[in-house]
Chain A
Amino acid sequence: MTLDPNDESRAIVPQWRAFEHARRTGELDPASILDAVQGPSEALQKLHHEWTASGAMTFASELVAGSLVEGVPEYGRSAATVLASAAASTSRVVDVIVSEVLGTRSRLPKRRGPPQEEVHRLRHEVADRLRDPFAWVDLARAYEGSGSNQKADQAMSIALALAPNNRYILRSASRLFQHQGEIEKAHRLVARAPQIRSDPWLLATEMALAGLMGRSSRHMRLALQLSGDSGQSPWQISELRSALGSAELTTGSVKKARKLFRGSLEDPTDNSLAQAHWAARRHDPGLRSQIGDITASAEAVAWQEYRDEHWLQALAAAEQWHAAEPFLAQPLILGTHLAASCLLDYEKAEELAMLGLRANPESFTLSNNYIYAAAHVGKIIEAEKQLYKLDLVALTDRERIVHTATKGLVAFRKGTTEEGRLLYREAIGLASSHNDPAILASALLNFAVEESRLEARPDSLQLAEEALAKVAKGRFPTLLPLANVLSASIRRAAD
């Protein structure tokens, strides 16, 4: 059986996007901008004169480039139009400049491949641009997504050495350290940034990490000031307001939190949108009406579709969420659960679980869901291997029940039926004693399905009926697809 995805807690830690993606969101923009662009210089005017007098393409190229450098692209636009439509081919460098001046440039993100291919591509890229800090950050991200934590750490160290005070790099590094379980290190890194007192993005990160450590931020008052009337755009302070709202939630001040979340939704980032959606789901349903269109956040969409029982749409959104944050376990925990339990697509579940385990080999839920899916597709040896890898000491009671039931499934599929029965019964007993109706129903249902695949026994029908009754009584929508399979199997047996 799979374990339900857990969205009990969520902190507004940075979303670690690839550099090009982050740039497109505007996350790298400064808090304030200058308006220091002057008109065209006399030299540029002279070039314009030379070009109009001669019509020479060489002058046109110079004029277009000069207009871009001087911040007056409109001054070079007519020459750029001529160059763009010229029969003679121009160089790639000129093409880039011309399309930028004409505003016709399309910056398509590079196509992402599987994690190992991505690592290979980025290693190659870094080798050619050793002093580009963002190339190292992207490589660190790819390493983390493929489970090479140490290499990710090394790559990020180089990025930090090259640009120690860059907002994007600090946020990415803190996200990496947090993912590796080093929350103190992540917090220290951000808290010591020289611009922590003026940068709302870093302040939001610092507050979120402090929250994860069970502390409150030292900069609470400053954060409140910045999130108020600081003259920054609502978008720039959206995550800060969200972080403040989340901090209020932990102290139980739902009303104050709602006000702050409402502020964060004025012009939200996808992260603050996901945070507000989470807060509405888990703590404050009244906030739901404040949240408008959620399509900008794959995470929020995935959870919303999951709640609305639109399994296919939820799975698609979970995959999008995974693509945005490939090292995260949560999107794939949701994805494997959806694929295995709600869509009975065990091959998909196995594929997603494998992807997730690369970056999160310690995740019990992903391991369990992998074993469950692998057993279903007949990969018993792989499932057993994964069973041995699990660290059972750290399991919660709920996880231990799920683990016992999943071992029962493997035993059934391996042909050691009696062992399977024992394990399922143990899981059911534990679920009953822990008064966990969802886990109990799931264990019963999975046990009944396994029995139904064998030769009919007098007690198997009784078990199936009990399981179906529990599912019906508990109204567990994610168990219905498997319950339907069981019902059909019973009908066939009766016929």
Chain B
Amino acid sequence: MATAPRNFAAELLDRELDNGWRVTRQLARGPSATGGQFSIGYEVTRTDGVRAFLKAIDFSRAFRPGGDPARLLQAMTEAFNHERELCKTCSVRRMSRIVSYLEDGTVEVDPTQPYSTVQYLIFELASGDVRAQLEVMQQLDNAFVLRTLHAVTVGLKQMHAAGLAHQDLKPSNVLQCGTSAKIADLGRASSQAVVAPHDSLSITGDRGYAPINQLYGETGHGWDARRRATDLYHLGNVAVFLFTKGNITAAMIAELGEFQRPGVWSEGFAQVLPYVRHAFETALEELKLSVSPMILGKEIKSIVRQLCDPEPDRRGHPESRIRHENQFDLQRYVSWFERLAKQAELGFTGGAR
């Protein structure tokens, strides 16, 4: 009878690592499959007292019975290397709104066993993701939400400027680091310069947060429309989540007829698009009514309308399109969220005083 291979990544607690790091705690989060990398999270502490987050990659999955270890191992290794390279790029370019990558390394867990070497990445430690912040809030703090959105938009803009696209932005990947929000998990990110193993997938990130076009198999044409437009959609969806705890894709699907939904509709994205657009407009109306005060609701509706347009080619600021600038450039949204956050802080749009 075949048994499951030993998961060495799960055996790092209390181990000493290179450069004075010690694994002090396994984080409560369950095994993570985000980024296509099966990983286990730990808290690590350096000899100088600095605490950090360690992401240990679980290669044991490649050796599961019935699998193709050579192929799986190659895929996992490529994915790990890709993520590590992107993390390094972000670090070199000092992206202030991307969770800081500190270092990577390996540790041999059991010298008597083959393949017991575990690879890991170490990042700055966050106090938690944005969902935990929302959970403890008695009343939604618009200023906090808008500051978070501003930070996330800056983070995406920093990545886009380096020719990178995140592709898997969602609430659990927005971390609270000190007083600011930062983007984490580059496991599904794409680079304009290097082809990633997951680049050929029609849905690169979490299916539950996928842009609606991707659910119908429509990915967009060209790097910008395919990658940056996806980031824009995800950003809009994070805005929807932070204000409503909802999801714009789900809200659209709720407005679609039973047979017009992804996985059921048989006639292609162009044919279903009129229905999707109608559903989108209806969902936007619900969004507007979900945000208080109404004046802010109108602005958030406008932002989400531009960011989450069902057609990737139509995403982005209309002014940018008119001026023949890059429509996926996020600078206008950085400014927009900055203004709204300031207004909220001053109490003009319902921010905490």
Q: In the complex, are the beta carbons of A169 and B274 less than 8 A apart? A: yes
> Does B148 make an interface contact (CB < 8 A)?
no
Q: In the complex, are the beta carbons of A65 and B208 less than 8 A apart? A: yes
> Does A96 make an interface contact (CB < 8 A)?
yes
What's the Cα separation between A186 and B244 when bound, in Å? 45
> Does B106 make an interface contact (CB < 8 A)?
no
Q: In the complex, are the beta carbons of B245 and A58 less than 8 A apart? A: yes
What's the Cα separation between A53 and B28 when bound, in Å? 10
> Does A93 make an interface contact (CB < 8 A)?
yes
Stretch at the interface among A25-33, A112-120, A362-370: A25-33
Determine the residue in chain A with the shortest Cβ distance to B258. A29
Question: Among B206, B251, B259, which residue has its beta carbon within 8 angstroms of that of A41?
Answer: B206
Given contacts A43-B206, A96-B251, contact A32 B131 (CB under 8 A): no
Q: In the complex, are the beta carbons of B257 and A46 less than 8 A apart? A: no
- Chain A residues, CB < 8 A from B273: 163
Q: Which residues 46-67 of A have a CB within 8 angstroms of B?
A: 46-47, 49-50, 53, 56-59, 61-62, 64-67
Determine the residue in chain B with the shortest Cβ distance to A166. B274
> Does A129 make an interface contact (CB < 8 A)?
yes
> Does B265 make an interface contact (CB < 8 A)?
yes
**What 0/1 pattern do residues 189 to 217 of B give for CB contact below 8 A with A?**
00000000000000000111110000100
Q: In the complex, are the beta carbons of B207 and A61 less than 8 A apart? A: no
Q: Which residues 1-56 of B have a CB within 8 angstroms of A?
A: 28-34
What's the Cα separation between A162 and B246 when bound, in Å? 29
B308 CB to nearest A CB, Å: 13
- Chain B residues, CB < 8 A from A62: 131, 171, 208, 241, 245, 247
Given contacts A46-B30, A69-B207, A91-B244, contact A132 B281 (CB under 8 A): yes
**What 0/1 pattern do residues 423 to 462 of A give for CB contact below 8 A with B?**
0000000000000000000000000000000000000000
Given contacts A69-B210, A133-B278, contact A94 B245 (CB under 8 A): yes
- Chain B residues, CB < 8 A from A135: 278, 281
Q: In the complex, are the beta carbons of A42 and B135 less than 8 A apart? A: no
What's the Cα separation between A44 and B135 when bound, in Å? 19
Interface centre among A35, A66, A162 (most CB of B within 10 A): A66
Q: How many residues of A contact B (CB 8 A)?
A: 58
Q: In the complex, are the beta carbons of A70 and B30 less than 8 A apart? A: no
Q: In the complex, are the beta carbons of A68 and B254 less than 8 A apart? A: yes
B61 CB to nearest A CB, Å: 11
- Chain A residues, CB < 8 A from B254: 68, 96-97, 100, 105
> Does B243 make an interface contact (CB < 8 A)?
yes
Interface of B, secondary structure class, is helix
Q: In the complex, are the beta carbons of B30 and A71 less than 8 A apart? A: no
Q: In the complex, are the beta carbons of A70 and B207 less than 8 A apart? A: yes
> Does B267 make an interface contact (CB < 8 A)?
yes
A370 CB to nearest B CB, Å: 38
Q: In the complex, are the beta carbons of A46 and B32 less than 8 A apart? A: yes
Q: In the complex, are the beta carbons of B207 and A36 less than 8 A apart? A: no
- Chain B residues, CB < 8 A from A65: 208, 246-247, 249-251
Interface centre among A28, A37, A67, A68 (most CB of B within 10 A): A68
- Chain B residues, CB < 8 A from A128: 281, 285
Q: In the complex, are the beta carbons of B281 and A129 less than 8 A apart? A: yes
A147 CB to nearest B CB, Å: 27
Q: In the complex, are the beta carbons of B244 and A42 less than 8 A apart? A: no
Q: In the complex, are the beta carbons of B277 and A43 less than 8 A apart? A: no
- Chain B residues, CB < 8 A from A166: 271, 274
Q: In the complex, are the beta carbons of B257 and A29 less than 8 A apart? A: yes
- Chain B residues, CB < 8 A from A94: 244-246
Given contacts A42-B33, A133-B277, contact A93 B244 (CB under 8 A): yes
Determine the residue in chain A with the shortest Cβ distance to B311. A131
> Does B289 make an interface contact (CB < 8 A)?
yes
Question: Among B31, B246, B248, B281, which residue has its beta carbon within 8 angstroms of that of A91?
Answer: B246
Which range holds the interface residue count of chain B? 35 or more
- Chain A residues, CB < 8 A from B246: 61, 65, 91, 93-94, 96-97
- Chain B residues, CB < 8 A from A29: 257, 259-260
> Does A19 make an interface contact (CB < 8 A)?
yes
Question: Among B29, B264, B275, B286, which residue has its beta carbon within 8 angstroms of that of A71?
Answer: B264
What's the Cα separation between A492 and B228 when bound, in Å? 88
- Chain A residues, CB < 8 A from B264: 33-37, 71
Q: Which residues 130-164 of B have a CB within 8 angstroms of A?
A: 131-132, 134-135
Question: Among B28, B135, B259, B287, which residue has its beta carbon within 8 angstroms of that of A93?
Answer: B287
What's the Cα separation between A59 and B172 when bound, in Å? 10
Q: In the complex, are the beta carbons of A41 and B131 less than 8 A apart? A: no
Q: In the complex, are the beta carbons of A93 and B277 less than 8 A apart? A: no
Determine the residue in chain B with the shortest Cβ distance to A72. B263
What's the Cα separation between A31 and B243 when bound, in Å? 38
- Chain A residues, CB < 8 A from B206: 41, 43, 66
> Does B175 make an interface contact (CB < 8 A)?
no
Q: In the complex, are the beta carbons of A132 and B278 less than 8 A apart? A: yes
- Chain B residues, CB < 8 A from A169: 274
Interface centre among B215, B246, B264, B283 (most CB of A within 10 A): B246
Question: Among A36, A53, A93, A134, which residue has its beta carbon within 8 angstroms of that of B274?
Answer: A134
> Does B69 make an interface contact (CB < 8 A)?
no
B68 CB to nearest A CB, Å: 19
**What 0/1 pattern do residues 1 to 39 of A give for CB contact below 8 A with B?**
000000000000000000100010010111111111110
> Does B307 make an interface contact (CB < 8 A)?
no
What's the Cα separation between A166 and B271 when bound, in Å? 7
Q: In the complex, are the beta carbons of A47 and B266 less than 8 A apart? A: no
What's the Cα separation between A489 and B254 when bound, in Å? 64
> Does B240 make an interface contact (CB < 8 A)?
yes
- Chain A residues, CB < 8 A from B278: 19, 129, 132-135
Q: In the complex, are the beta carbons of A30 and B208 less than 8 A apart? A: no
> Does B227 make an interface contact (CB < 8 A)?
no
> Does B234 make an interface contact (CB < 8 A)?
no
Q: In the complex, are the beta carbons of A47 and B262 less than 8 A apart? A: no
Q: In the complex, are the beta carbons of B251 and A23 less than 8 A apart? A: no
A192 CB to nearest B CB, Å: 17
> Does A473 make an interface contact (CB < 8 A)?
no
Q: In the complex, are the beta carbons of B266 and A34 less than 8 A apart? A: yes
Q: In the complex, are the beta carbons of B274 and A163 less than 8 A apart? A: yes
> Does A165 make an interface contact (CB < 8 A)?
yes
Q: In the complex, are the beta carbons of B262 and A28 less than 8 A apart? A: no
Determine the residue in chain A with the shortest Cβ distance to B280. A132
- Chain B residues, CB < 8 A from A97: 246-247, 250-251, 254
B81 CB to nearest A CB, Å: 22
Q: Could you list 19 further interchain pairs (A-B, Cβ under 8 angstroms) beyond the known A61-B245, A71-B264?
A: A26-B259, A36-B264, A37-B263, A41-B208, A43-B33, A43-B208, A44-B207, A49-B30, A53-B30, A57-B135, A62-B131, A62-B245, A69-B210, A69-B262, A90-B245, A91-B245, A96-B286, A100-B253, A166-B271
- Interface residues, chain A, with chain B CB atoms under 8 Å away: 19, 23, 26, 28-38, 41-44, 46-47, 49-50, 53, 56-59, 61-62, 64-71, 90-94, 96-97, 100, 105, 128-129, 131-135, 162-163, 165-166, 169
A-B contact pairs, 30 of them (CB 8 A): A28-B260, A30-B267, A33-B266, A34-B264, A35-B264, A44-B207, A46-B31, A50-B30, A59-B131, A62-B171, A62-B245, A65-B208, A68-B250, A68-B254, A69-B250, A69-B262, A70-B208, A91-B243, A93-B245, A93-B248, A93-B251, A93-B283, A93-B286, A94-B246, A97-B247, A131-B277, A131-B281, A134-B278, A165-B270, A166-B274
Which 7 residue pairs spanning A and B have beta carbons closest together?
Answer: A66-B208, A93-B246, A65-B247, A65-B250, A91-B244, A163-B274, A91-B290
